[in-house]
Amino acid sequence: MRNKTPRAICLDILNRVEGAGRHPDRLLTDSFKRYRHFTSLDRAFLTELMYGVLRWRGKLDWVISQFSKTPFEKLESEIVTILRIGLYQILFLTRTPVSAAVNESVELAKKTRGKGGGGFVNAILRSVLRQREEIPYPDRLEDPALHISVVQSHPLWLVRRWIAEFGVEKTSDVCATNQHIAPLVLRTNTLKIGREELINKLIERGLSPAATSYSEEGIVLMDPPPVSDLPFFNEGFYVIQDESSQLVTSILDPRPGEMVLDACAAPGGKTTHIAQRMKNEGKIYGVDLTVEKLKWIEEGCQRLGVTIVNRVRGDASRVLPIPEGIGFDRILADVPCSGFGTLRRNPDLKWRKGEEDLRRLVELQSSILKNLSGYLRNGGTLVYSTCTIFREENENIVEKFLDEHPEFRLDPIERILPQHLHPFVSGGYFKTFPPKGEMDGFFAAGLIKKA
């Protein structure tokens, strides 16, 4: 086990992401725990390699198809993954010796597919090395959708949908932004420490933190180490959470002593943020589908010192197993969504989800919103939120709900948010949209049940 290289482990992870739909983050964390002898450089290289291949998979596959005499769709999946790993190093990692990129890829192919597999990988990679400045890509003027799809490495169906909704230029900007590595943003756990104090502690450890521009609890880390090497995590001083995600809790605006329902709560980032804003006073019901997800919430609460969360196993689209007669002051419906606003940090999503998933999600989102509305007291606030930029998962869901539920009205977001966040308000909704604000794409709507 100790003899496995970062490249070999990367192959294992990518095979499991591709074959079993496993989440790369968790597989990476498990690998770091298993291979504790890895240096910080090994961990950084494995992280870069794994996310780089996922981020640029479409472009890498295009290159493979240009150099392979065998049609791409007929290539063995493991050989394709090995080629992606090798090509990513050749095309994107300028400090990695090309000899190491080629030779180790060939060895991986020999171990898994024999001498023939090794020879095939060797031939493709060396051909790319000789001609990498002359690789042909689709012409932007002739077919803008295909050009963006290949050059910015997004599925063609997704690019076409975004062009239809946003136009070519905006789609190109969004796709280009998605290919950047997202900043590492922390949310200070103000139940234990203030933001300035935490910033100073991080500086003392040799890190380069800065206060975020929009979230009053956020800290962005410049050139951060691997997440596994971050200090003060076990002390519960922070949560890793994008700035736009932090702002959703500001829109919910929970108060100490209130009764709050957080549906679809796992992994618990927003649940614990709500508890923070409530100063650990009141009661939160955190609902999710599985025991495993509820365990994530429990672990987060224990680490952060949150004591007001009741974890409930339930389906947010159906009757919930909570005491009868509770009328919640506030409900957060952070619904399952396509996640296409978070592709900078979750590049695997664009390859795992398709148009059929989108249709299924829209039905689920409508069901959840309708069901949760019945648990809100008169005069209470329900916030519907997603981490996607598709109108059909956002405005369309809310508008349909309001048409069918006259007892609710839209609460204009600008009424709640401070002035510096008003640029992200449009039509009464909160919307962050890459690349604006250096944040993930998020949507939120506040709905008030009339008294």
At 25, is the secondary structure helix, strand, or coil? Answer: helix
Half-sphere exposure of 16 (CA within 13 A, CB side): 16
Picking from 47, 52, 100, the residue whose alpha carbon sits closest to that of residue 108 is 100
pLDDT of 1 > 80? The answer is no
Q: Angle, to 10 degrees, between the axis of helix 144-151 and the axis of helix 156-166?
A: 120
- Structural contact between residues 331 and 408, judged by C-beta atoms closer than 8 angstroms: no
pLDDT of 435 > 90? The answer is no
Structure tokens at 243: 């700035």
Q: What's the pLDDT tens digit per position in 47-75?
A: 999 999 999 999 999 999 999 999 999 99
**CA–CA gap between residue 172 and residue 59 (Å, rounded):** 15
pLDDT of 35 > 70? The answer is yes
- Structural contact between residues 186 and 241, judged by C-beta atoms closer than 8 angstroms: yes
Query: 231 CB contacts (<8 Å, ≥6 apart)?
Result: 201, 202, 205, 207
**CA–CA gap between residue 373 and residue 333 (Å, rounded):** 9
Query: Which domains occur in the chain, in start order?
Result: 6-134 (1.10.940.10), 144-178 (no CATH), 184-240 (3.30.70.1170), 243-449 (3.40.50.150)
Residue 22 confidence class, pLDDT cut points 50, 70, 90: confident
Residue 2 confidence class, pLDDT cut points 50, 70, 90: low
pLDDT of 4 > 60? The answer is yes
- Structural contact between residues 451 and 329, judged by C-beta atoms closer than 8 angstroms: no
- Structural contact between residues 202 and 188, judged by C-beta atoms closer than 8 angstroms: no
List the catalytic residue out of 264, 301, 337, 387: 387
Arithmetic mean of pLDDT over the chain? 95
Q: What are phi and psi of 94, to 5 degrees?
A: -65, -25
Q: State mean pLDDT over 277-286.
A: 98
- Structural contact between residues 316 and 326, judged by C-beta atoms closer than 8 angstroms: no
Q: State mean pLDDT over 325-348.
A: 96
Max intra-chain CA distance, the chain:
74
Residue 436 confidence class, pLDDT cut points 50, 70, 90: confident
- Structural contact between residues 146 and 108, judged by C-beta atoms closer than 8 angstroms: no
pTM score of the predicted model: 0.92
Query: 182 CB contacts (<8 Å, ≥6 apart)?
Result: 242, 344, 345, 440
Over its C-alpha atoms, the chain yields an Rg (Å, rounded) of: 23
**CA–CA gap between residue 174 and residue 428 (Å, rounded):** 23
Q: State mean pLDDT over 138-148.
A: 97
Cα dist from 342 to 94, 216, 310, whole Å:
27, 21, 28
To the nearest whole percent, how much of the chain has pLDDT over 90? Answer: 87
Q: What's the pLDDT tens digit per position in 182-232?
A: 999 999 999 999 999 999 999 999 999 999 999 999 999 998 987 878 999
pLDDT of 280 > 90? The answer is yes
pLDDT at 307: 98
179 or 21, greater pLDDT: 179
- Structural contact between residues 159 and 148, judged by C-beta atoms closer than 8 angstroms: yes
Q: What's the pLDDT tens digit per position in 228-248?
A: 789 999 999 999 999 999 999
Residue 264 annotated in active site: no
To the nearest whole percent, how much of the chain has pLDDT over 70? Answer: 100
Lowest model confidence (mean pLDDT) among 2-11, 118-127, 390-399: 2-11
Structure tokens at 183: 């900043």
Burial class (CB in 10 A: 0-12, 13-18, 19+), 403: exposed
Q: State mean pLDDT over 384-399.
A: 97
Residue 373 confidence class, pLDDT cut points 50, 70, 90: very high
